[in-house]
Structure 1
Amino acid sequence: MIRPARRTRRPAKASRCARSPSSRPPQPRLVHSMLKSALYLFILLSLTTSAAAQELKKIRLGYPSLAFTQSHIWVAKEEGLFKKYGLDVDPVFLRGGQVATQALAAGDPPIVNVGTVVQANLTGYNLVLVAAVETRYYQLVFVRPGITGLEQLKGKKLGISGFGSATHYAALILLKHLNLEPNKDVALIPGGPDAERMGALVAGKIDASFFNMSTAPVARRMGFIELLSIADLGVEVQGNGLATSRAYIKSNRDTVKAALKGYIEAIHFIYANKTEAQRTFAKYMRTNDPDVLETSYQSYVKTIPKKPYFTLKGIQFILDMLAPQMPQAKSAKPEQFVDPSFLQELENEGFFTEMAKRYP
């Protein structure tokens, strides 16, 4: 018996409403995996953001003048170089070296760009330099009209920013050169920052004073007479540098090292980026005077070293000047006022080589 052939059913046409494979709902296992990955990514980003915020340590860092010798502090702040090394720095203007040293001795700010740590150290404050950018005092002697020579300073009033400041030491160097005694042959009058001493000269309260190279163009335009640069006397003396206390180093060594890295990179940045550097100079010096900005920049690249090492000979000179009034200075050694370990570490780590390549 022959069976009838079975009909072969044609496959049904795909419905227009049928979903393509790509539009099918994800399987539960896939959904779980995707959610898990998203959660991990969220946690990772949160931790990274939190860690980045925690890494920025807030710190105040002081500077005592509006001269170009302080500008690496400003540039490191403005160009984000302190942040690069984990610090959120608040630059604090302190009115002169004496005030800056007193603030440092009190621990606020804990780091200051100043050179006058020797006298404070001798009086019991264990302050040290971890770097230094001046081995001479680039202070210019200006006098009021009517005085034509340095020999005429005898019996006159010489303005300084404060006792124990760089201008105070510059005055001692000048008077020694002239064979004159301070406060006997020439009265030393503390008068605050450059601008205030300039006002004192105008008012006749002092007869002469020291102005840094940043302020010199203004002093000349005001009619004051420039007689001498202390640097021309050839005296090696320790000037401005990054200073802190041994106690702060002991408890915050990483912070000091980070600040020093930003400080040094700013020096290299200034050399390589004139326009950006002068913009920051203008902000902190509070002037747009082109002569001041140009003089400041040219003075910077001529006098500030890319490797900020101290001068022990310069510290000894300060000790010798202090010895008549401070007997403890006679037995002090220059090495007790510096901590070279940070610079040595950076040398060994190749930091200076890296800076030279980054800022050719």
Structure 2
Amino acid sequence: MRTLGAMHLFIAGAIAFWPDFYLPGTSAAQPKPLVKIVAGYGSTDGAIAPLWFAKETRLFEKRGLDVRLVGMGTGAVSLRALIARDLEIASLSGSGLVQAALQGADTVILSAAINGFVFKVFGAPDMTGPAQLKGKKLGVSRYGATSDFAVRLALKKWGLNPERDVSILQIGTTQDTFRAMQTRMLDAGVLSGTASLMARKAGFRELADLGDLGLHYPMAPIGTTKSYIQRNEGVVKEFMLAYIEAIHDFKRNKEAALKVLKKYTRNDDLEVLQDSYSNYASKYLAMPMPTPDAIRTILAELSVLVPAAKNAEPEQFVAYKIAREIEASGFIKRLYESEGRARK
């Protein structure tokens, strides 16, 4: 009995003085739970690859977040889900986010990885230029989506009326648009990423690069709501830090980036994947925020449909406060400086 009593004293002493001793239910032994976020994406285009990359390389977890990515099919569906609070964060159309805000929703742009359009217009092999789009059927993903917004701006610059001179049809994803071109349901289509190279390989002719319009535009934006930021500003900031790091790592780890592109675009053509990687990696911004001019591009176009756009200011539609705090913290500078030191 003395031996048993001594053993009890030993165990009690160990528990009292060994801080890492595990007891079920004690806070010292419990890791901090990850904050759950449901984030949607409408496109399977490489422009939003940093979002996928952050998920696959566990950068969100590194920041204390459990992000569940949900493919929504289109940006319009993502927008409705965001407004309905079914999503906390979503990758969708910049013009859609701004228009929703103008019409009373509390949507706001959190980031935009690219400043400018990445779309190209492809047509039948016998077409030689944009002028030949007159009287033709042109495919976009969805009305109001970025592809639709961009090509309507372009048509006006080419002297064509988007309402009268061209039949603009909403098809689905850029892959769906490409397939519709193959079956001759369309004469031309607005494509990007993997779909662009596939169209070129199939013999379609590139009629125009919409990036040549020279317009600022928030491409591949991520949106949320102002109310979500008010309740979870720290969480949103951690999300942004993970996203920014994902852009940095995507550019510098091509092998991992290609694996992510292959998984989410569901394309295993290495030539297509490498083309998509090269195209987007060179365009991603270290600080992925839209310029005021990018928002003005949207407001100018929307002013025809939404009178409130005429007197609106870019600051109303972008969460610049979080971006400025991150920039002021020196996080991005340290991220890219550490890479420079590693190369020496």
TM-score, reference length from structure 1: 0.87
Does structure 2 conserve the Cα–Cα contact (< 8 Å) formed by 1:140 and 1:213? no
Please list the CA deviations of residues 79-101 of structure 1 after superposition, one character each: whole Å capped at 9, or x if unmatched: 11000111111111222332222
Is 1:72 the equivalent of 2:50? yes
Comparing 76-85 and 107-116, the one that deviates more? 107-116
Please list the CA deviations of residues 262-292 of structure 1 after superposition, one character each: whole Å capped at 9, or x if unmatched: 1111001112211111111111111121111
> CA–CA distance in 2 between the matches of 1:48 and 1:28?
23
Instruction: Report the CA distance between 1:314 and its aligned residue.
Output: 1.5
2:75 matched residue in structure 1? 97
The amino acid that maps onto 1:99 is: V
1:336 matched residue in structure 2? 316
Is 1:239 the equivalent of 2:219? yes
- Which segments of 5 or more consecutive residues in structure 1 lack a partner in the other structure? 1-24
1:181 matched residue in structure 2? 161
Instruction: Report the CA distance between 1:122 and its aligned residue.
Output: 1.5
Go from structure 1 to structure 2 and tell me whether the alpha carbon gap of 1:283 and 1:358 turns closer, same or farther (over 3 Å shift): farther
Instruction: Give secondary structure in 2 for the equivalent of 1:103.
Output: helix
Instruction: Report the CA distance between 1:348 and its aligned residue.
Output: 2.4
Aligned residue pairs, count: 335
1:57 matched residue in structure 2? 35
274, 280, 287: which one aligns with 2:254: 274
> CA–CA distance in 2 between the matches of 1:247 and 1:313?
25
1:12 matched residue in structure 2? none
22, 43, 51: which one aligns with 1:42: 22
Instruction: Report the CA distance between 1:183 and its aligned residue.
Output: 2.2
> CA–CA distance in 2 between the matches of 1:167 and 1:40?
56
Instruction: Report the CA distance between 1:48 and its aligned residue.
Output: 4.3
Please list the CA deviations of residues 191-218 of structure 1 after superposition, one character each: whole Å capped at 9, or x if unmatched: 1101111121122222111111332121
Is 1:136 the equivalent of 2:116? yes
Is 1:192 the equivalent of 2:181? no
Identity %: 33
The structure with the largest alpha-carbon Rg is 1
> CA–CA distance in 1 between the matches of 2:12 and 2:218?
67
Go from structure 1 to structure 2 and tell me whether the alpha carbon gap of 1:321 and 1:155 turns closer, same or farther (over 3 Å shift): same
The correspondence of residues 149-188 of structure 1 with structure 2, limited to 5 A, is 149-188=129-168
The correspondence of residues 199-210 of structure 1 with structure 2, limited to 5 A, is 199-210=179-190
> CA–CA distance in 1 between the matches of 2:11 and 2:154?
82
Go from structure 1 to structure 2 and tell me whether the alpha carbon gap of 1:33 and 1:49 turns closer, same or farther (over 3 Å shift): closer
User: Alignment RMSD, CA only?
Assistant: 2.2
> CA–CA distance in 2 between the matches of 1:295 and 1:84?
30
Does structure 2 conserve the Cα–Cα contact (< 8 Å) formed by 1:268 and 1:306? yes
Instruction: Report the CA distance between 1:30 and its aligned residue.
Output: 4.7
- Which segments of 5 or more consecutive residues in structure 2 lack a partner in the other structure? none
Is 1:212 the equivalent of 2:192? yes
The amino acid that maps onto 2:233 is: R
TM-score, reference length from structure 2: 0.91
2:300 matched residue in structure 1? 320
Does structure 1 conserve the Cα–Cα contact (< 8 Å) formed by 2:91 and 2:221? yes
> CA–CA distance in 2 between the matches of 1:95 and 1:29?
63
Go from structure 1 to structure 2 and tell me whether the alpha carbon gap of 1:157 and 1:41 turns closer, same or farther (over 3 Å shift): same
> CA–CA distance in 2 between the matches of 1:178 and 1:35?
78
